[in-house]
Structure 1
Amino acid sequence: MVDRRSYLKLTGGALTAGIAGGVITLVAWNEGGGGGAATFEEREIEYDAHDDPSDVYRVWTGYPERFAFEDGAAYTGATALRCDIPAGDSDGSNAMVWFPDDGYDQPRALYQRAMISLSDDWTMEETDVCRFWCAGLNTEAGIQGSGSRGRPHGDDGWSSMFAVTDREIDDEATYNLAAYSYHMDQEGISGEFEVVGAPVPTGKWFRFETLVRMNTVSDGTANPDGEVRCWLNGTPVYERTDFRWTTTEDQAIEYGGPLVRYGGNETAPADLAIYYDDHELCGNGAIEDRLESDPYVEDSSRMDDYDGRITVATGDAETSYRIYVDGYVVHSEWSNVDGHTTTPNETVEIALADTTKGYATADAVAAPESADGYLYDGSVVAVDADPELAELWVDGQELDPAAVPSRPGE
């Protein structure tokens, strides 16, 4: 396992939870490869503000009609992006941000975050593979970034993708994460395939984050310092820093985002679907700031972007507690109707839903006569505290802590 603080002294890669309302936000930054006239900093994609995936992505190759917006299936808001994979088929499609389409240079580094869910009935045959995410891809320079055409030569395409697979895992409710990369040092004609060993659940939203930095070039020679990193539910699960993709500064990151293909030669054993929401991207000039931000602290001005809020208050003793949420939870600050002021602090630890119990949790060791505040999506299912909390407020209503389940299912 890669330690979250093992590189660049950063605290872990995640954007602040939630998306500001409205349409795509574009801001310029100051480093890039070829392909455009402007430079790119960040983009937040709000599916609710658009009618068709082609409004926000280049939907291309395979079967573009398999991508559609679906109401009522979202992680936040009302609308999710869905990609169907019919039984017996191997093709999905691509719905990715295409930087030159908006007149931007190709960034030389790209961070992405999204919430993703495999359908409830997701199933795979043993050894099958399904790609679902493009961390970075270039086809403008050539076709060597896919299609089993052999090694890229440094000026004719490259790619970094992620997949789920039934390899090296026995749990029927999860599948393994895998990395799939076309680079100059791969051994075979197809890209290099690496089983990451991080379980991906079915039927549950998981937070997925990727970071790609292009390798440097010295006198037309590719240096082995290209980087790919990946986080699953906030935990670093993949880190590699020796890729060689390019021998020219003009070939950089042309695409990023949802990319779906089941198999090489395999076909889907049933009708399957993958859902996407809250897709966010940022480039070189913004990446460090984003990585340094606390992924689980939200400004109270964003309160309306969440389903509800929680306030806990302790009595005259130090109190350990855990809040279980069927959904998503972040720390925040406010003053409530009972005069409590909450402030994010280092005693609180947030964990997204794990792959076995399926609940997001907030754990803390709170000082006497103190209060903590949270925003959440979904529902509050249990609160466990020792000693018992003095007060518990959910959505502005005071609840009797003794009457609230201390474990999910009680």
Structure 2
Amino acid sequence: MADRVYLDHAATTDVLEPVMQAVLEQMRIGGNPSSLHGAGRRARATVEAAREQVARAVGCDSAEVIFTSGGTEADNLAVKGLFYQRNGADSRRTRVLLSTIEHHAVSEAAEWLEAHDGAELEWIEVDASGMIDPAEVRALIEKAPESVALVTAMWANNEMGAIQPIAAIAEIAAEYGIPMHTDAVQAFGAIPVNFRDSGVATMAISGHKIGGPMGIGALIATRTTALSPVLHGGGQERSVRSGTIDAASIAGFGAAAAWAAEHLETESRRIATLRNRLINRVREEYPAATLRGPEPETDLEIMKHGPTRRLPNNAHFTFAGCEGDSLLFLLDMAGIETSTGSACNAGVPRPSHVLLAMGVPEETARGAQRFTLGHSTTDADIEALLNALPAAYAQASSAGLAAHTPEASRWH
């Protein structure tokens, strides 16, 4: 696999060496953190040390870190837990305000509440760059503040990298006493994320996006935020998330969080500079390629204050006249691993809901290709992609769009 180039770090990134060491060490030690004997106490000490590492990395108290199996569970615990608690206290609170570009872990959790528990979903629109206007959130709340159960908006989008004004949105929600959740899975480890300063009530993060193990994440929740548990059992993790505590994975998560915090500034700037080189070359060489999402910061802006509009590792394009899946497979055959950021339902290619929410036409959205960089990305990786792209794009373009049969093409 050494000759392959991996550019899908938004899906998952390479596990760091310190993480593997931390996981193996705890696996050798063993013990259930809930046991009272020596092995249990040693495992508990490992968990609490990792909890401190995560807390320092995200700017919260260690008591606010609730370990979960990952970002999806954390999002579900927050959205459902906040809704059940708020609606249970006041049955008028049925409205859930969420952005149209949320990860499915948030949007489908909310849709479950709509289908089974009487929630009313109201969608916060985004502009052509994928950005939320806080004023729109205020307008939605002011329609009937007493009926809003919660507000949720992701910190940074996983597909096209837009960094949202989370603190501004949270401040508006707080004016009306409404809790806000944010999915910070993509933001954590890529840009500065400070839970305390953000003003949100809950926040989801994940280990494998920052070089930690898969299957571990956390819900960060203020001490005063009341959450109804979704799982019931042993009462672990503040009784919000019952279940045997995975000490080994948590140790790895803590090591990854510590590494990410220590290297955040240098890695963010290094990766953003590589990303800009990629974007500039694609724009120069492919007139049919359109960058989606906010305009990235220039190299000078990155050196001065770091990325503020767009995640440093994200380059998301739509390529006119070809299927994103075709381009992905052709690049994969050339040893370059990328992503379309779209889903496939029942074998039929579907465009990204994020791009459609941004106003991108369905046919155009089907040409999506997402290149995401990470801590292992090098100059040589970017060159390899740029060298492989011409042939792959030419072949994908010659195949055209799946829906365009020769007969249909005559009418377009």
TM-score of the aligned structures, taking structure 2 as reference length: 0.27
Name the one with the larger strand percent.
1
TM-score of the aligned structures, taking structure 1 as reference length: 0.27
Which fold has the larger relative contact order, with Cα–Cα distance below 8 Å and residues 6 or more apart in sequence? 2
